[in-house]
Amino acid sequence: MKKILVTGGAGFIGGNFVQYMVEKYPQYEIFNLDALTYAGDLTKHYAIENKENYHFLKADITNQETINFIFKRKQFDYVVHFAAESHVDRSIANPQVFVTTNVLGTQNLVEAAKRTNVKKFIHISTDEVYGELDFNPTTFFTENTPLQPNSPYSASKASSDLIVRAYHETYQFPAIITRCSNNYGPYQFPEKLIPLTISNILKNKKIPVYGNGQNVRDWLHVYDHCAAIDLLLHEGKAGEIYNIGGHNECTNLEVIQKILQYFGKSEDLIEFVPDRLGHDKRYAIDPKKIEQLGWCPTFTFDTGLTQTIQWYVENWGWLEGVESIKK
């Protein structure tokens, strides 16, 4: 039975991936390692927590001794590394936490994985490491785009990418790096744009919009992201980088307007606020490389957004529960 470690499996993307793998591959043992920081939540795993192929490990990836002990004891076959501090606003306020978790934590993991002969290590990164694009709709990030991060968060992720790459080049460490566009879907912590907007609408509160709201993002449904990582886990080539995008570009303002329209609410709820420091204009991904392996997104943004809104409405209790710790 293959042993797969998923770091950050109590978070948003990692949590969805854990559920996806536990359900799809009962013949694999899935280990969810998470420190349970503010954005970590295990209630999402009630449906799988008693399954024989699911295991939870509470640990902090920045604790080198603990990580080495776990890897030596469990002898994982594969690692999918999601665990990270990921909120740009928080990185601007406290960069050191992001460097500690995203850079040093990643180094601890790749070193432990190297020592225990892990067969494949998938490092989940972000399109934000590429910096920003202009508003020309024909320009996209490719796997060869230079890294030019503009926030402490994206700089910490770019740094972790380079550590993983260096381990491959120096030690022939079997690593793959993925860089995805903005994810959305069930169980996203409500500090991010879509769940925050839904929550504020349901409470009839103002929806903050940075600047003029014209910053563009490419949106990828988390279920499509999980399917892409599944493919790379089985067919991805070590040493390669794969961009994963949803072909769904929208301005932040357009996203909020779509959600308001769903609820039949007035745009009077929109409140423009001073722009974020170093706010990137546009992200857009060219995912041709992974599409050549047979993956493509199944959700259009309108279909995925409707599904996501309905999920939050139906799971209002979960949203209220995690919001109580949002500080």
Q: Is 151 within the bounds of a domain?
A: yes
Residue 127 annotated in active site: yes
Q: Give the pLDDT score at 38.
A: 80
Distance (Å, rounded) from C-alpha 10 to C-alpha 35? 8
Residue 113 lies in a domain: yes
Residue 171 is among the residues annotated as catalytic for this protein: no
Return the pLDDT at 86: 80
pLDDT of residue 326: 54
Whether residue 130 lies in the annotated active site: no
Q: Is residue 196 part of a domain?
A: no
**C-alpha closest to that of 78 among 29, 45, 126, 35:** 29
pLDDT in tens, the chain (327 residues): 899 999 999 999 999 999 999 999 999 999 999 999 887 889 999 999 999 999 999 999 999 999 999 999 999 999 999 999 887 878 888 889 899 999 999 999 999 999 999 999 999 999 999 999 999 999 999 999 999 999 999 999 999 999 999 999 999 999 999 999 999 999 999 889 999 999 999 999 999 999 999 999 999 999 999 999 999 999 999 999 999 999 899 999 999 999 999 999 999 999 999 998 989 999 999 999 999 999 999 999 999 999 999 999 999 888 888 877 654
Considering the entire predicted model, what is its pTM? Answer: 0.96
Q: Domain count of the chain?
A: 1
Task: Identify the CATH number of the domain in which residue 228 sits.
Answer: 3.40.50.720
Please give the residue range of the domain that contains residue 181: 3-191+219-248+284-299
- The pLDDT assigned to 317 comes to 86
Closest C-alpha to 161, from 119, 118, 128, 112: 128
Q: Does residue 276 lie within any of the structural domains?
A: no
Q: Is residue 24 domain-resident?
A: yes
Catalytic residue among 29, 34, 60, 127: 127
Residue 22 lies in a domain: yes
Task: State the pLDDT at residue 323.
Answer: 73
Does 227 map to a domain?
yes
Q: What is the pLDDT of residue 325?
A: 61
Q: How far from each other are the two terminal CA atoms of the chain, in whole angstroms?
A: 41
* Cα 294 to Cα 60, 127, 202, 291, distances in angstroms: 35, 21, 39, 5
**Packing angle of the helix pair 301-314, 252-263 (nearest 10 deg):** 60
State residue 161's pLDDT score: 98
pLDDT for position 292: 97
Q: Pick the catalytic residue from 130, 153, 167, 283.
A: 153
With vertex at residue 192, the alpha carbon angle to CA 186 and CA 198, rounded to the nearest 5 degrees, is 65
Query: CB of 69 within 8 A of CB of 129?
Result: no
Q: Is residue 135 part of a domain?
A: yes
